[in-house]
Structure 1
């Protein structure tokens, strides 16, 4: 009894005895983690954009000085250049705290749930959803992409 060529591979099939509710809960946890991963990317974007803006302030200060606006240039240079966006925190510290705290714990609990409940398998909910769609005969919705390396 071989596996169908277009069926999910073993890594994406539900182990015996795992309930629909468990698969759905793992799917929701995975979906939540994907949201957190996107938020993490935005946090890194914030870090990079604020850093870039801070470097551009140096040029703005120089131009204000060249235009004869010394007082404004001095205020920008002393009050804004290099300023923390959150009191006592540089943006890289915010990123590090997020990565080492919330993000690390989220990933740890996601891994623990998958290890304990389904032998570490990932995306079971998605694989089953894909298989249901494929079984409706929709071209291009195969459960497993063609192997290619």
Structure 2
């Protein structure tokens, strides 16, 4: 038996070393780190949406250029000229195209968020990730059942 009361066999069947809480790490800290990780996952999702916005806006501007060409070819020169002058290549927010928004986000908020989440894991859990989820998996899986293995 280990200090936690587990048999050595159940420990070998459980999570790998990188997904086991270090000795002395309490439930409240594992929960807090799990919530911090969850917040980072939301930011990762938001980042993906921001990159989607970047790509879609760029595609829209390229397509708008095609529309301007077609309007001009169809004889609507004044309208084509106005759209080209006022909208084509326009900043999406003051002074910025979307690539600049993405860069500011990545280099500022996102980088700091990732750094602080990693620092918290390094300081409190020896850098280990997803401890909360690994323990949840152990509680929820059916030991010995196919498809419920602890490790790949």
TM-score for the superposition, normalised by structure 2: 0.88
Q: Give the Cα–Cα distance (whole angstroms) in 2 for the partners of residues 109 and 135 of structure 1.
A: 35
Is residue 130–residue 141 contact of structure 1 (8 Å, CA) maintained in 2?
no
Tell me the equivalent position of 1:23.
30
How far 1:2 sits from its partner (Å)?
Answer: 6.0
Q: Give the Cα–Cα distance (whole angstroms) in 1 for the partners of residues 117 and 151 of structure 2.
A: 24
Q: 1:90 aligns with which of 94, 97, 113?
A: 97
Tell me the equivalent position of 1:133.
140
CA deviation string 1:27-77 (max 9, x = no partner): 011111111111111111111111111111111011111112112101110
Q: 1:59 aligns with which of 52, 63, 66?
A: 66
The reply on whether 1:114 has 2:121 as its aligned counterpart is yes
Is residue 61–residue 88 contact of structure 2 (8 Å, CA) maintained in 1?
yes
Which runs of 4 or more aligned residues in structure 1 lie more than 3 Å from their structure 2 counterparts after TM superposition? 1-5, 135-139
TM-score for the superposition, normalised by structure 1: 0.90
Structure 1 stretches of 5 or more lacking a match? none
How far 1:141 sits from its partner (Å)?
Answer: 3.0
